[in-house]
Amino acid sequence: MLKMRDIAKIYRTDLIETHALRHFSLEVGTGQFVAVSGPSGSGKTTFLNIAGLLETFDSGTYELDGRDVSRLGDDARSRIRNEKIGFIFQSFNLIPDLDIYDNVDVPLRYRRMKTPERRKRIESALELVGLASRMKHLPSQLSGGQQQRVAIARAIAGDPPLILADEPTGNLDSLMARQVMDLLEKINDMGTTVVLVTHDPELARRAQRNIHIVDGSVLDSPAYQRRAPHPTPQADAAAE
């Protein structure tokens, strides 16, 4: 699903250069549930942004779902982001003045789907996360856990093969965190690849694979082997 080879990303200012990722290589197979952890500033978010085509990189190659996406223009990157990737953020990132229905609708709008098809997908996604009865509510009228479930519904409404989740439980209490993880596992069980960035070893332990990033490189890949509902490619991560 995701194959990065020798990726380097450097942030430059007039005075300094910061190597966010260096010789970063990683393979994630289709249907895997991968947890990515590492200390603050290690490059987890940069990895996620590059994986999600939100940022470009300086060198290396990146294949997503069998296609080289290293040097695509903005339109093509946006289209792939819209069709292949679902994002879940720590701070939910719902659009405050759109109701729940319209929030879930956003990625579908950019895919130029017809109204009946969009409605079907939105209702089905909200039903999956248990919020079908709250469609006309604004995000501010929901709890943190409910907002994150809306964000999950938005991520899966377009049926993308890859979900990128950046500390999705970071702002939630443990009960809600567990519910969100249950949902992610459910989505993964349906065949969607999930890459989860987390600080929480408890949550990481629930993933099939664990990737540890230190100083912009993949350090190791301890396998907790919580469960293995889908085939797992061998030696996915190459530590430097």
Partner 1 sequence: MIGYYVRLALKSFRRTPGLTALMACAIACGIAACIVTLTVYHTLSGNPIWWKNGVLYAVTMDSWDPKSPYDPAQPGLAPDQLTYQDATYLFDSDIPRHKALLTLIGGALSGAPGQSIPAIAFTDATTAGFFHMFDVPFEYGGPWSAAADRGPDPVIVLSRNENDELFGGADSVGRSILWNDQRFRIVGVLDHWRPEPKFYSLSGGGTGDFGGTTDAFVPFRWDVTQRHWPAGTFGCWGSSPINTYRELLGSECVWVTLWVELPTAGQRRRFLDFMNAYWAHQRANGRFQRPRNNHLWKVSQWLKMHHVVSDDSRLLLRLAFAFLAVCLINTVGILLAKFLRGAPVSGIRRALGASRRQLFEQHLVEVALLSLGGSSLGVALGALGLQGVHAMYAGSEAGYGAAAHFDVQGILWALALAALSTLVAGVYPAWRIGRVSPAAYLKSQ
Residue of 186, 187, 213 whose CA lies nearest to 199: 213
Angle at 170 between CA 165 and CA 172, to 5 degrees: 115
Residue 65 binds to partner 1 (criterion: CB under 8 A): no
Residue 74 binds to partner 1 (criterion: CB under 8 A): yes
Residue 140 binds to partner 1 (criterion: CB under 8 A): no
DSSP the chain: -EEEEEEEEEEE-SS-EEEEEEEEEEEE-TT-EEEEE--TTSSHHHHHHHHTTSS--SEEEEEETTEE-TT--HHHHHHHHHHHEEEE-TT----TTS-HHHHHHHHHHHTT--HHHHHHHHHHHHHHTT-GGGTT--GGGS-HHHHHHHHHHHHHHT--SEEEEESTTTTS-HHHHHHHHHHHHHHHHTT-EEEEE-S-HHHHHTSSEEEEEETTEEEE--------SS---SS-B---
Q: Which one of the spans 35-43, 62-70, 83-91, 213-221 is the region binding partner 1 (CB under 8 A)?
A: 83-91
Q: Which of 106, 135, 138, 214 binds partner 1 (CB under 8 A)?
A: 106
- Closest to partner 1 by CB, 122 or 209: 122
Shortest reach from residue 122's CB to partner 1, in Å: 13
Shortest reach from residue 232's CB to partner 1, in Å: 28
Residue 57 binds to partner 1 (criterion: CB under 8 A): no
Residue 113 binds to partner 1 (criterion: CB under 8 A): no
Shortest reach from residue 52's CB to partner 1, in Å: 7
Residue 119 binds to partner 1 (criterion: CB under 8 A): no
Rg of the chain over all Cα atoms, to the nearest angstrom = 18
Shortest reach from residue 129's CB to partner 1, in Å: 17
- Closest to partner 1 by CB, 48 or 203: 48
The tokens 């694979």 sit on which residue? Answer: 209
Q: Which of 51, 89, 126, 177 binds partner 1 (CB under 8 A)?
A: 89
Shortest reach from residue 46's CB to partner 1, in Å: 8
Residue 79 binds to partner 1 (criterion: CB under 8 A): yes
Residue 178 binds to partner 1 (criterion: CB under 8 A): no
Q: Which parts of this chain interact with partner 1 (CB under 8 A)?
A: 45, 49, 52, 54-55, 74-75, 78-79, 81-83, 87, 89-98, 106-107, 109-112, 154, 158, 166
